[in-house]
Structures are given as C-alpha cells and as structure tokens.
Amino acid sequence: MIAAVQEPNQKSAKPIADFLEACHLIIEKGLLSKCRVDSLNSPVLHNAKKGMALFEKWCHKHEETGMAFAI
C-alpha cells in the first residue's frame, strides 16, 4: 500500500505515505514485532520511536494547514 502511494507521479500523496509509514513502523515493526526487546537500543523500540516521530511531524504539518482531523 505504501509503495503504491509513493509512486513518482503521486507527489500530492506524500503526506498519506508518511502517515502509513509511521503506522507501519509503530504497529508492524513495533508492537507486533516478533523481535525480543532486551535493551533500550532494541530495533523494536527504535522503530516505534521513529514511527511516532514521523506521525507527530505529519500531524503537526496538518494542524498548521487546518487540514487536521479528529481521531
């Protein structure tokens, strides 16, 4: 799904791709990951943090444009 939105001709869909990538990192590579969390440097925690940072950036950008929505 993310790859389809990230097509070169879909520049206007970049915010959607960023949102989907953030969700993927938080959920699939974070919460649902089968990797063991054995330290604060775990890839699972790194993915969740990266996804959350992308989501916060995405959300802030849309709040500024007045295009934010209630979740």
Tally of CB atoms within 10 A around 36: 9
d(CA 31, CA 49): 11
Torsion over CA of 47, 69, 7 and 21, rounded to 10 degrees?
10
Sorted by where each begins, the domain ranges of the chain are 23-30+42-65
pTM: 0.65
Token pair of 43, please? 């890839």
Cβ neighbours of residue 71 under 8 Å, at least 6 residues apart? none
State pLDDT tens for residues 8-53.
Answer: 666 667 777 788 888 888 888 888 888 888 999 999 999 999 988 9
Q: Are 22 and 54 in contact (CB under 8 A)?
A: yes
